[in-house]
Amino acid sequence: MNTARAFLITVAAVACLASCTTTSPPQRTLYQALGEYEGIEAITDSFLGELAGNQQALPLFLNSDISRFRAQFINHLCVTANGPCTYEGDAMRETHRGMGISTAQFNSIVENLIAALEANGVPTSTQNALLQRLARHYDEIVEEPF
């Protein structure tokens, strides 16, 4: 066998083997895993429904503009999930200052969010990723007296 023919056979074999290898599918972003904007809207609407029945936290929302809250919560979740949104609300500390939100109230609201995520079929691993990012705001929200 001549050298040129051996070289071509080797190149063809390598090309064939390379095409047979499997590649991992690209990882979805948290934003994609939440269903992108439409999914986040659905989660938010479910969350608002859950909050409506939360007697422990409902007093915190009595004077709220629910339409504004909805829009800003959608944007907040979108930004938190690295989506292409812009959060235009106040900083978490400013928004919650003086509300006296307790750990128990905070936890009940988190439970409402988890119920909304589950109602929208969000896998537990995705829920955990979102909740981990949102947990960073705990100290900016809870004002429990020491």
Q: pLDDT (tens digit, 9 = 90+) per residue, 5-47? A: 444 444 444 444 444 444 555 688 999 999 999 999 999 999 9
8 vs 48, higher pLDDT? 48
**Domain locations along the chain:** 30-141
> Which pLDDT score is estimated for 5?
47
State both tokens at 74: 């959608």
> Which pLDDT score is estimated for 62?
87
Q: Can you give the three-state secondary structure of the chain, one letter per residue?
A: CCHHHHHHHHHHHHHHHHHHCCCCCCCCCHHHHCCHHHHHHHHHHHHHHHHHCCCCCHHHHCCCCHHHHHHHHHHHHHHHCCCCCCCCCCCHHHHHCCCCCCHHHHHHHHHHHHHHHHHCCCCHHHHHHHHHHHHHHHHHHCCCCC
* Structural class in CATH, domain 30-141: mainly alpha
58 vs 44, higher pLDDT? 44
State both tokens at 129: 């990723």
* Predicted confidence (pLDDT) per residue in 75-99, tens digit: 999 999 999 999 988 889 998 988 8
pTM tops 0.85: no
Q: Which residues make Cβ contacts (< 8 Å) with residue 43, sequence separation at least 6?
A: 34, 35, 77, 116, 117, 120, 122
Mean pLDDT across the stretch 43-56? 96
Lowest mean pLDDT among 11-20, 51-60, 115-124: 11-20
Mean pLDDT across the stretch 103-107? 95
The distance in angstroms from the start CA to the end CA of the chain is: 86
